[in-house]
Amino acid sequence: MITLALSKGRIFDETLPLLAAAGIEVLEDPEKSRKLILPTNQPGVRVVLVRATDVPTYVEYGGADLGVTGKDTLIEHGGQGLYQPLDLQIAKCRMSVAVRNDFDYASAVRQGSRLKVATKYTAIAREFFASKGVHVDLIKLYGSMELAPLTGLADAIVDLVSTGNTLKANQLVEVERIMDISSRLVVNQAALKLKQAAIRPILDAFSNAIESNAVSS
């Protein structure tokens, strides 16, 4: 049995066409079912639904053989024990720094001010501000980062931005792009060796589908 860990939402939706290219069809809709283990049309393949931040942990410890997870989540997790063969080019967005539109970020940085930065992505934020030589106090949050500058909890946030609509709706502006983000396939290293015959064809089909998407887009 091959177990693939996915998170509900964008990653699940955008992984479906890749699975279809590998001849795998998920037989239940996670938005309609309460089941956490979803069967597929292939008796030897199942999908487990886990929180996005738990995907690397499931795959690292063998709770799943494969998983799909954002580069952001992988960096925060550390990626230890995971084979990362493919950038799937899905769930694309960027990791950025944003502030209130009346906050002068450039002068604060120029003057060497100590910034309060709220984020779920503390490893990425720490590394980014250290590389710029900016002193920061990091405030760990688990969601609704946009609220932090509006309530005075922080001067800036580090968060994922896709269309920019969420920032705009909350009077925030993007002042730095830290990195582009997309989702990766991660594979348990022992499973890759022991279940090679079942996993290889999936990797190959994903890889071909990504290539033909790149050609057609």
Contact positions with ligand AMP (CB under 6 A) in 102-161: 159-161
Residue 166 C-beta: closest distance to ligand AMP, Å: 3
Contacts of 13 by beta carbon, 8 Å cutoff, 6+ apart: none
Closest separation in Å from C-beta 11 to ligand AMP: 7
Beta-carbon-side half-sphere exposure of residue 115 (alpha carbons within 13 Å): 32
Options 70, 119, 128, 138; binder of ligand AMP; rule CB under 6 A: 70
- Contact yes or no for 160/181 (Cβ under 8 A): yes
Binding residue (CB under 6 A) for ligand AMP from 4, 24, 26, 91: 91
- 182 vs 72, 74, 89, 197, CA distance in Å? 8, 11, 6, 27
Stretch that binds ligand AMP, among 106-114, 123-131, 162-170, 192-200 (CB under 6 A): 162-170
CB of 212 to ligand AMP, least distance (A): 22
132 versus 168: smaller Cβ distance to ligand AMP: 168
Q: How far apart are CA 31 and CA 182, in angstroms?
A: 23
Task: Return the residues of window 168-187 that contact ligand AMP according to CB under 6 A.
Answer: none
- What string marks each residue from 8 to 47 as x (binds ligand AMP by CB under 6 A) or -? --x-------------------------------------
Give the one residue of 33, 41, 162, 196 binding ligand AMP; rule: CB under 6 A. Answer: 162
CB contact set of 191 (below 8 Å; sequence gap of 6+): 2, 62, 65, 66, 199
Phi, psi of 84 (to 5 degrees): -120, 75
Size of site (CB under 6 A) for ligand AMP = 12
Helix (H) or strand (E) holding 184: strand 183-188
C-alpha 180/C-alpha 140 separation (Å) is 21
- Shortest Cβ 165–ligand AMP spacing (Å): 4
**CB-CB contact of 99 with 171 (8 Å):** no
Please, what is the minimum distance in Å from the beta carbon of residue 35 to ligand AMP?
Answer: 23
165 binds ligand AMP (CB under 6 A): yes
Interface positions with ligand AMP (CB under 6 A)? 10, 70, 91, 93, 159-166
